[in-house]
Structure 1
Amino acid sequence: MPIQQATELQIQEFITQHNAWILKENKLHREYQFKNFVEAFGFMTQIALIAEKSNHHPEWFNVYNKVVIDLTTHEARGITERDFSLAQQMDIVFNLNP
């Protein structure tokens, strides 16, 4: 069974509930800022393990203390529940490391 894209309403509801995330170029987008490079890289390492376990990988890049994330499900050609789930897990990890 193919993965279903989220509806516009589902995406808007997610963004309303998780206001640090925005819709950018049909992807969920967020920028995280850390105290330094080590904390940013540590966050990426934790998320890499989560992403690998769930077999859903972010588009991301890091510059010093900033990590920029874009989430989409290539197989579905859009945002899906997988993206919502990974975004929520990222926020949990970020909030656990003040």
Structure 2
Amino acid sequence: MKLDDATIEKKLLHFPDWEYHNNAIHAEFEFDNFKDCFSAMSRIAFECEAQNHHPDWTNVYNILKISLSTHDADGVTNKDFKLAEAIETIVEVEE
């Protein structure tokens, strides 16, 4: 179920790396080098498969940009926050 803007903003208080715009939540992570970034992406990919929920993401050298939204709901849902939480855990381990 699509969350309303107020609910999304409230949930984002627990996700300081993330912001909400263009009907999705977005984060950008910087790593020491490409290898560390790609390693995190690989770990995130396994989590995405486990949750059957996949990000729109881009990687340039050591920067990973991620956007999460639920296409079926045409907006942000609890699935996106669940995946964001997992991504945060993976990125923290990498750093």
Q: TM-score, normalised by structure 1?
A: 0.93
The total of aligned residue pairs comes to 95
- Gaps of at least 5 residues in structure 1 are none
The answer for the alignment partner of 1:95 in structure 2 is 92
| 1:35 aligns to 2:35 (yes or no) | no
CA RMSD of aligned residues (A): 0.8
What is the distance in 1 between the residues matched to 2:13 and 2:39?
A: 28
What is the distance in 2 between the residues matched to 1:88 and 1:46?
A: 13
Amino acid at match of 1:47: I
The answer for the alignment partner of 1:54 in structure 2 is 51
The answer for the alignment partner of 2:75 in structure 1 is 78
Q: Percent identity?
A: 35
What is the distance in 2 between the residues matched to 1:37 and 1:72?
A: 26
After TM superposition, the structure 1 stretch with the greater mean CA deviation from structure 2, 63-72 or 12-21, is 12-21
The answer for the alignment partner of 1:15 in structure 2 is 12
| 1:45 aligns to 2:42 (yes or no) | yes
Tell me the SS of whatever aligns to 1:41.
helix
What is the distance in 2 between the residues matched to 1:10 and 1:19?
A: 15
Q: TM-score, normalised by structure 2?
A: 0.96
Structure 1 stretches of 4+ with a deviation exceeding 2 A read none
